[in-house]
Amino acid sequence: MLEYLRALHERFTTVSPETIKIQRERDRILARLRGQLGKSQRVLLLHLLDLEDDLRDQTSLDSFLSGIRLARGIEQELGELPPYSFDDENEEQAKQKGGDSPCRKSC
């Protein structure tokens, strides 16, 4: 199932012009740094960039999956009969505690 969601994520993820602009700036700065750093420092820098890319990809996938879960939860709530009501739930909780609803006290 996770592979299917990864495929959906890849299919529906778009890259904005702002993202492309930022990537180009990053690549320009990286090219400048390569000329100024020693080999061991370049290796560390590239490793750091790879980890940042991996983290960004995982964060994007996590966000996508959260959106899918949210949409599924909304869909389930919309299908409930009677529909979910926050006010009704609060009133029911107040009754279970033995008190009046908050609105009756302050309204």
Task: Give the tens place of pLDDT for each residue, 44-90.
Answer: 998 999 999 999 989 999 999 999 999 988 888 888 777 778 888 89
What is the tally of structural domains in the chain? Answer: 1
User: Does residue 16 belong to any structural domain of this protein?
Assistant: no
User: Does residue 88 belong to any structural domain of this protein?
Assistant: yes
Q: Which domain holds residue 37?
A: 21-98
The Cα–Cα gap between 58 and 55 comes to 5
For the chain, how big is the Rg over CA atoms in Å? Answer: 25
The Cα–Cα gap between 29 and 51 comes to 18
User: Does residue 11 belong to any structural domain of this protein?
Assistant: no
The Cα–Cα gap between 22 and 13 comes to 17
Task: Give 18 or 100, the one with higher predicted confidence.
Answer: 18
